Amino acid sequence: MPETVRFNIVNPAIEDYVTGLVPARSPVLSRVEEHAAQHNVPIVGPLEGQALALLARLVKAKSILEVGTATGYSAIWLGQVAKENAGHLTGIEFDASRHAEATKNLADAGLADTVEVLSGDARDVVAGLTGPYDFIFFDLVRSIPDEHHLLRLYELCADRLVTGGLFCVDNVLHGGDVLDPKTQGARSAQHLNQTIGRDGRFVASFLTIRDGLAVALKVRE
């Protein structure tokens, strides 16, 4: 099977080894992985997908928000957790073709009644949602170079997370560019990381899985 699109922060051989320990995926997940590799669609991949699902299970997430759904790969991992807990996942995707692909993939995964993917600009959509959510996965760091836009979305999501809920943010290492940010996107990612680390509402840890995953537990309002 072709490799999924990935950003090699960790030694690729080590990443391949631990990815090989992930149990066999469903035919739908495998198909989405192949499509992502063939069409250069960035997805979290099986290693991070499994990690996100584990984290969601740890907080017994019933109400999940995913900001940046793309073709639905991570939404399938997280949607399965929501379904196990008789809950619901709300996804958001701006691109019309990816929105259609995600809707199809989720239906094929048996999650049509569990996952709803909304279409539109994430700021507008999240602002119109009340939640509250037990688990939020934010996957737009590489898609939003504008710092004000990125931090505004962070605040909107943080406000809609329950105390005791988990906020996961992908691509926080921005390909390693946060070490010496020369682009606006890398500078925005660096500032977002500092904001998460200093936010008194959260206890956060930054994991060097793939392109970096921030995991923040909300401990107070």
pLDDT in tens, 75-104: 999 999 999 999 999 999 999 999 999 999
Give the E-state strand segments of 35-183 in sequence order.
63-67, 88-93, 115-119, 133-138, 161-170
Which of these CATH numbers, 3.40.50.150, 3.30.499.10, 3.50.50.60, 3.40.50.740, describes 12-218?
A: 3.40.50.150
Burial class (CB in 10 A: 0-12, 13-18, 19+), 220: exposed
Does residue 7 register a pLDDT over 90? no
pLDDT in tens, 135-169: 999 999 999 999 999 999 999 999 999 999 999 99
* Confidence (pTM): 0.94
Rounded CA separation 64/102 (Å): 16
**CA distances, 121 to each of 46, 88, 125, 143 (Å):** 27, 21, 6, 12
pLDDT in tens, 73-83: 999 999 999 99
End-to-end CA gap in the chain: 45
Domain segments of the chain as ranges = 12-218
